[in-house]
Structure 1
Amino acid sequence: MQNRQIRVIGIGTGDPEHLTLQAVRALADVDVVFVLDKRAETADLVEIRRRICAAHIRKPHRVIAVEDPPRERQPVDYGSTVAAWHAARAERLEAAFAKDLGPGAVGAILAWGDPALYDSVLRILDRIAARQQVAFTRTVIPGLTSVQVLAARHGVPLNGIGGSVLITTGRRLAAGWPGEIDSVVVMLDGDPAFGHLNPDLTIFWGAYLGSPDEILIAGRLGDVSDAIRRTRAEARDRHGWIMDIYLLRRDPTDTDRDAKPR
């Protein structure tokens, strides 16, 4: 008996042209696409996936919406809360695989950006595989990340000459500027955590990258931080959700290396 196939396909940040040729080929013979549905608040994200499938899957197929379990947004114990959320996601996807993907069939999960960068799908599939209740083989197709798109939209390199780049989260940035790093990319920042940092940093901010609703702001942090917060809040109210990211860059000659939260 043939195993089910699960293809985890990076689809970029919203522009259908972000799909690589490899991603297009991987989609062509898919039987079932599984989508973790966050309900009405992100219905347009589900619709983008449906349009991608309609454009590139060359055979009759189904799109199965799996209700995403709720997640506590500001937990006391972040690690345990995320682990419980991943476990609940794994249970629901495992049930969907068993019900909707027969032996030998090809399933796909479309991951925003690249599935290896701040995405939970691969960890969830590891959980399902470890349970050994539903047999499947896994293939991962890389995608264009929001990090790359942000740099491209602003027309800047991510790193300074010979410098390093740190990709982190707003939760970690809240603890202060990370040591000797000159360039920091910040993802998953629900409440922008740059207010305590050196106002002479340069920020390159973007939201809804790759979509018709894309917003870009750049400049000296002290000059544009209020505008970013205001624009971000207005956009979130308008859409019901927001996906944004920013790059902070420090002048390597700056001696203020130890900005701490107030």
Structure 2
Amino acid sequence: MNDRRTIDLALIGIGTGNPDHLTRAAEAAMRAADLILLPRKGAARSDLIDLRRAICANVLADTRRVVEFDLPSRDAEGDYLDAVDRWHDAIAAIWAREIATHLPEGGRLALLVWGDPSLYDSTIRIARRLKAGIRLSVIPGITSLQALTAAHAMPLNALAAPVLVTTGRRLRGDGWPPGVDTLAVMLDGHCAFADLPPRGVHIWWGAYLGMPQQAIDAGPLADVAARIVTTRAALRADHGWIMDTYLLRRGEDAR
């Protein structure tokens, strides 16, 4: 029996925007929840909340347990990590408020997370900021890297070779990390690949992976970098937002 004061918090990976990415475990966790919280990220990103709403409508017989909240904005000024830390505090405070309002006696709460909660997502970190009485579980989902390699029909790694997952911020600031020939790059809002020495490098890029507006491109970096930058800018202007990722590989196994 669940303790009256305990919140069982399920972080549910929902894939990259395709309702078919939802696993049976994810569907079961959604149906078991007493409350599902959906974040609104502003009018420019209304597609994201609309997809979450559609997933809930498809899975749940009763959507009255679904509550939406406005996600606060992250401060773009000052130190990046400090700004992210304050942002996470603000989000955790909103979750705590919604829990106190809708589950004052405890119960089962669910949050729907793009891709998988464990890969370049901070939902787990935010959940750990909540006070005692939270029992956390994670339901894995299809990641953007899986969707990217599937879209290009390619393996993530070269034969018997490692892969480094990094961010556009790190790639732009530090350059290509030593000792590895394959990079999976997340969260790159400034096309760091375009500033790399392109010789011998191949790129596989994808945006809105798994969604109806999915766009992909690939080729030698020297040939396609400028085209990807132009395509990305046009897509962002059309939709008001963009989520994309890419794989870089250099050397003999670049293709």
**TM-score class, shorter:** over 0.9
**Does the 8 Å contact 1:29/1:57 carry over to 2?**
no
Task: Specify the alignment match of 1:258 in structure 2.
Answer: none
Q: Distance in 2 between matches of 1:253 and 1:202?
A: 9
Contact 1:204/1:216, CA 8 A, preserved across alignment: yes
**Counterpart amino acid of 2:16?**
T
Partner residue in 1 for 2:141: 143
Identify unmatched segments of 5+ residues in structure 2.
Answer: none
Larger deviation, residues 226-235 vs 98-107: 98-107
Q: Which residue of 1 aligns with 2:186?
A: 187
Deviation at 1:100, TM superposition (A): 1.6
* Structure 2 counterpart of 1:124: 126
Aligned residue pairs: how many?
249
Instruction: Name which of 9, 12, 17 aligns with 1:14.
Output: 17
Take 2:105 and 2:53, find their aligned partners in 1: how far apart are those partners?
24
Determine the C-alpha separation between the residues in 1 that align with 2:45 and 2:16.
14
Deviation at 1:141, TM superposition (A): 0.4
Can you list the C-alpha shifts for 1:73-118, whole angstroms capped at 9, x where unaligned? 4x44111111011111111111111112242432210000000111
Quote the offset at 1:243 in angstroms: 0.2
Q: Is the 8 A contact 2:167 2:185 kept in 1?
A: yes
Normalised to the residue count of structure 2, the TM-score between the two structures is 0.93
Question: Is the Cα contact below 8 Å between 1:31 and 1:60 reproduced in 2?
Answer: no
2:110 counterpart (85, 108, 111): 108
TM-score by length of structure 1 reads 0.90
Structure 1 regions of 5+ residues with no counterpart? 255-262
Q: Distance in 1 between matches of 2:73 and 2:29?
A: 30
Q: Does the 8 Å CA contact 2:194/2:226 hold for their aligned counterparts?
A: no
Aligned to 1:173: 171
SS of corresponding position for 2:39: strand
SS at match of 2:129: helix
For 1:96, the equivalent position in structure 2 comes to 98
Identity of aligned residues (%): 45
- Could you say what the CA RMSD is over the residues aligned between the two structures, in angstroms? 1.6
Large movers: runs of 4+ above 4 Å:
none
**Matched residue SS, 2:176:** coil
Shift of 1:72: 2.7
